[in-house]
Structure 1
Amino acid sequence: MTQTQRFQVGDVVRDTIRAAEGEVWKVEAGVLDLQNDAGYTWRALAHRCNPTTVADASPQFPPGTKPESVTPADIRVGDWVPLDGRNYRIVDMRSNGPGGRILIMDGYPRPWVMTPGPRQVYRPIQ
């Protein structure tokens, strides 16, 4: 019997069934919610995934911010989103259907799709 791999939000894994790589944005009962660079999301069983990049155990906070878990409905311009090992500040956003947002971030090369569900961001302290 093999031991189940423990994944956390932010890990990048390879789904062996789809032969695709994605970032973990939710972990629940051995099921991973994954998102690839194009914003496509899917679910995969944790025991069918192999780690590619492990999330930093001690993330670097942008100065003057605090971590918060937010949904696309709660995200704000000025929040910082951790992606690809860096933090990007949201400068603009658009709706992406029910429950989703397209985020425009300073320094990020293209718009990024925030899918439904909670995600950790860094919010400026007021």
Structure 2
Amino acid sequence: MIVRQLSKAKQSSRRIVSPDGNWESTRLLLKDDQMGFSFHITTIYKGADFHMHYQNHLESVYCMSGRGEVETLADGKKYPIEPGTIYILDQHDEHILRAFEEMSMACVFNPPLSGKEVHNSEGAYDLDAEKIED
């Protein structure tokens, strides 16, 4: 069994802050845990407006607090995000995420992240990034 506390993980190398200042993510479950997915609690800062295109991963995102929107670039549709909303990027959807308020999100990635991933120039996470050492 694996047991971790978010408050402790936030004080460790499991907390990753984006270089562009849009988000921070505490990675509670990672590739080395061998569960087949990773699980993160991510804060999207108020005013964030950024492009993502997870070409190597599928992601599900559940909003726990805050408000914003996600726009799919293939069709220009905008979807409101508020507490209780889940959006699922099941087609490697290229999208823009906007935070009208600070948002707290629970995120699941498949395949799992290694730990230190941040978005590359295409808005994706590279496969097999540097792992976190606890």
- Assess same fold via TM > 0.5: no
Which has more strand, going by share of residues? 1
TM-score normalised over the length of structure 2: 0.23
TM-score normalised over the length of structure 1: 0.23
Q: Could you say which structure has the greater relative contact order, defined with CA pairs below 8 angstroms and 6 or more residues apart?
A: 2
